[in-house]
């Protein structure tokens, strides 16, 4: 079984325009890094949205079928406060409750294939109540926090959410690493997640993206905190053209933590433009390392699905 532990539904109103366009600017820089010029960010935005826009999860499941991914976990983002809520005044803007409800509806439309966490900014009025609603009404499988929106994960205002997750026995995914403008990465350094793991040693916490450039810090912290997991979603930028930029930290993660605390993810759908999901899965199932970095088939089977199945109590 292959489980995508980190995926998003993308459509015109899903997130603040400033964030979506920030992602496109980052993509444009990547696509033109050799020439340093060429791509039009506005044109790339329009083309990308036309291809990836997917309110109900139909395109996501089609890509999963092509890639051989059995299940995927939706992680709704609540980024408005980190973007000065520019999209609140736009027609059709979704508030946090509406966005999480749409994710739940996608899981009902694709029962057995899609599952969802609840994403909320802890600074929101009623954040804890929304999380409880997700657990009671929307079959929420965990909590997603995105500190780059402007808060630290070890801030006491997050504690009510952690306590609810601990009570419900569900994991918490916390973003770590860089993010496009207008979000700010300094809130997302793994060291701040370490404080949460220390305060809640029985809470299972996933360091999203293994901290990207802070991956050594993330692994060092997880080595001493057995309730910390890492996912390697969103590493398509590092992998593209330079596969060992993925395989070296992945090998280190498995060696240090064991495969049962290392999780596979795509971070789609924007990353699908860089490396399509079927190619991303192949990169994990059939790694081609110039440096000779290798993985046992048993390790890859655990990372690609077994670890997530155990974490979520799936047979």
**What value does the mean pLDDT take over residues 243-261?**
98
d(CA 27, CA 21): 10
Q: How many CB atoms lie within 10 A of CB 93?
A: 18
Angle between helices 127-137 and 96-109 (to 10 degrees): 10
Specify the pLDDT at position 84. Answer: 65
Tens of pLDDT, residue by residue over 46-84, are 787 788 899 999 999 999 999 999 999 999 999 988 886
Higher pLDDT, 29 or 14: 14
Q: What is the mean pLDDT of the chain?
A: 92
Of 78-82, 92-96, 253-257, 299-303, where does mean pLDDT reach its minimum?
92-96
**What value does the mean pLDDT take over residues 9-35?**
78
| 3-class DSSP assignment, residue 7 | strand
- Cα radius of gyration (the chain): 18
**What value does the mean pLDDT take over residues 276-302?**
98
Higher pLDDT, 191 or 241: 191
For residue 24, what pLDDT band results from cuts at 50, 70 and 90? Answer: confident
Q: How many CB atoms lie within 10 A of CB 9?
A: 26
d(CA 290, CA 254): 19
Is residue 289 within 8 Å of residue 246, measured between CB atoms?
no
Using a CB cutoff of 8 Å and minimum separation of 24, what contacts does 99-104 make?
Answer: 99/14, 100/76, 100/130, 100/134, 100/138, 100/140, 101/138, 102/9, 102/55, 102/76, 103/9, 103/74, 103/76, 103/138, 104/134, 104/137, 104/138, 104/139, 104/140
pLDDT at 177 over 50: yes
Q: Percentage of the chain with pLDDT > 70?
A: 94
For residue 85, what pLDDT band results from cuts at 50, 70 and 90? Answer: low
Q: How many CB atoms lie within 10 A of CB 14?
A: 22
Q: How many CB atoms lie within 10 A of CB 48?
A: 19
Is residue 135 within 8 Å of residue 168, measured between CB atoms?
yes
Per the document, the length of the chain is: 315
Whole-structure pTM value: 0.94
d(CA 272, CA 306): 23
Specify the pLDDT at position 289. Answer: 98
Cis peptide, bond prior to residue 163, ω within 30 of zero: no
All structural domains of the chain, each given as residue ranges with its CATH number in brackets, are 3-312 (3.20.20.140)
Specify the pLDDT at position 90. Answer: 44
For residue 214, what pLDDT band results from cuts at 50, 70 and 90? Answer: very high
**What value does the mean pLDDT take over residues 134-139?**
98
Cis peptide, bond prior to residue 234, ω within 30 of zero: no
d(CA 119, CA 140): 10
Tell me the two tokens of residue 213: 């450039």
Is residue 264 within 8 Å of residue 7, measured between CB atoms?
no
Cα 26 to chain centroid, rounded: 17
Q: How many CB atoms lie within 10 A of CB 136?
A: 10
């Amino acid at each position: 079984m292959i489980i995508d532990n980190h995926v998003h539904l993308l459509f015109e109103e899903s997130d603040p325009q400033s964030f979506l366009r920030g992602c496109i600017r980052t993509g444009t820089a990547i696509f033109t890094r050799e020439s340093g010029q060429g791509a039009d960010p506005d044109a790339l935005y329009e083309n990308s949205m036309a291809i990836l826009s997917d309110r109900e999860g139909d395109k996501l499941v089609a890509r999963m079928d092509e890639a051989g991914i059995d299940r995927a976990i939706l992680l709704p983002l609540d980024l408005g406060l980190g973007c000065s809520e520019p999209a609140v005044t736009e027609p059709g803007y979704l508030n946090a409750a509406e966005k999480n409800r749409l994710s739940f509806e996608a899981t009902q439309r694709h029962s057995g294939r899609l599952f969802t966490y609840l994403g909320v900014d802890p600074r929101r009025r009623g954040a804890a109540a929304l999380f409880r609603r997700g657990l009671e009404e929307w079959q929420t499988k965990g909590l997603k926090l995105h500190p780059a929106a402007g808060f630290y994960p070890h801030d006491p205002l997050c504690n009510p959410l952690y306590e609810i997750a601990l009570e419900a026995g569900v994991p918490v995914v916390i973003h770590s690493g860089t993010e496009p403008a207008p979000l700010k990465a300094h809130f997302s350094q793994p060291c701040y997640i370490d404080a949460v793991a220390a305060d809640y040693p029985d809470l299972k916490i996933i360091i999203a993206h293994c901290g990207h450039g802070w991956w050594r810090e993330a692994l060092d912290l997880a080595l001493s905190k057995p309730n910390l997991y890492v996912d390697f979603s969103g590493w398509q930028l590092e992998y593209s053209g330079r596969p060992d930029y993925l395989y070296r930290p992945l090998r280190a993660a498995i060696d240090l933590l064991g495969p049962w605390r290392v999780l596979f993810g795509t971070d789609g759908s924007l990353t699908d433009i860089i490396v399509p999901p079927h190619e991303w899965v192949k990169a994990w199932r059939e790694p081609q390392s110039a440096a000779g970095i290798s993985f046992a088939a048993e390790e890859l089977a655990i990372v690609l699905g077994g670890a997530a199945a155990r974490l979520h109590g799936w047979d």
